[in-house]
């Protein structure tokens, strides 16, 4: 289909709540193809529809490495139905070119979604794997939440954003995550 322009931090649709997909129609399968084409063109691990300006609950992920065959996973109307553990790791986002910062995530997630054929599936990702973190990152995009909202250290994140000429942190968007903090303190 087409490689689309990826919106950068500061653009409005990145902060909007996306709508459920009612039917996996041709419009949706075309959208998924555009997401995959754009993600692969940018060497990304995941891409959510709001990042190309479409506020629908759809994202794609591919955690295969360069020497492996492609392994795209399509998530439509995803819901994280279980989460546990906590991990801190560096994260980036195609909407924040070059900017990486440490964020808090759950280690394990179970997610339920529809695939490209409109069939429901459940998948699990554990041990703070790239897939586990990517699912949380992309799922957040559907609610207008960005990875910087989960940052470990707002001063570090602030200086990273500044360094890459991105807009500043939005203090009112920073998340309180007592459950994650507790887990991190216990370990
Ligand atoms: Zn992102």
* pLDDT tens per residue, range 60-87: 999 999 889 999 999 999 999 999 999 9
The confidence score (pLDDT) of residue 71 equals: 96
CA of 162 to the centre of ligand 1 (A): 18
Q: Is the pLDDT of residue 187 over 80?
A: no
CA of 180 to the centre of ligand 1 (A): 20
Catalytic residue, chosen from 91, 138, 158, 177, is 138
Q: What share of the chain is helix, strand, coil (3-state, %, to 5)?
A: 35, 30, 40
Least Cα distance to 93 among 48, 131, 58, 28 occurs for 48
The confidence score (pLDDT) of residue 66 equals: 84
Q: Is the pLDDT of residue 179 over 80?
A: yes
The confidence score (pLDDT) of residue 75 equals: 98
DSSP string, 111-179: EEEE-TTS-EEEEEE-TT-HHHHHHHHHHHHTTT--GGGGBS-HHHHHHHHHHTTPPPP-GGGPPP-HH
Give the position of tokens 């955690």.
63
CA of 50 to the centre of ligand 1 (A): 10
Task: Give the residue-averaged pLDDT of 132-153.
Answer: 98
The confidence score (pLDDT) of residue 25 equals: 97
Which uninterrupted H or E stretch holds 83?
strand 73-84
pTM: 0.96
Tokens of 92: 């980036």
Task: Give the residue-averaged pLDDT of 159-179.
Answer: 95
Q: Is the pLDDT of residue 130 over 90?
A: yes
Residue 8, burial from CB neighbour count under 10 angstroms (0-12, 13-18, 19+):
middle
CA of 45 to the centre of ligand 1 (A): 9
Q: Is the pLDDT of residue 186 over 90?
A: no
> For the chain, what is the mean pLDDT?
96
Residue 162 bears catalytic tag = no
Instruction: Read off the pLDDT band of 35 (50, 70, 90).
Output: very high
């Amino acid at each position: 289909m087409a490689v689309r322009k990826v919106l950068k931090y500061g653009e409005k649709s990145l902060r909007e709540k996306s709508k459920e997909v009612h039917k996996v129609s041709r419009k949706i399968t075309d959208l998924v193809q555009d997401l995959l084409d754009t993600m692969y063109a940018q060497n990304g691990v995941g891409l959510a529809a709001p990042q190309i300006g479409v506020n629908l609950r759809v994202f794609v992920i591919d955690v295969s490495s360069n020497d492996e065959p492609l392994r795209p996973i399509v998530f439509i109307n995803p819901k994280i139905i279980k989460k546990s553990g906590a991990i801190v790791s560096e994260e980036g986002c195609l909407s924040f070119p070059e900017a990486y910062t440490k964020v808090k995530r759950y280690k394990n997630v179970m997610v339920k979604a529809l695939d490209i054929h409109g069939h429901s599936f459940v998948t699990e990702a554990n041990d703070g794997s790239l897939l586990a973190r990517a699912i949380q990152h992309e799922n957040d995009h559907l609610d207008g939440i960005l990875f910087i909202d989960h940052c470990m250290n707002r001063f570090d994140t602030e200086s990273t954003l500044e360094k890459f000429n991105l807009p500043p942190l939005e203090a009112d968007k920073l998340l309180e995550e007592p459950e994650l903090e507790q887990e991190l303190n216990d370990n």
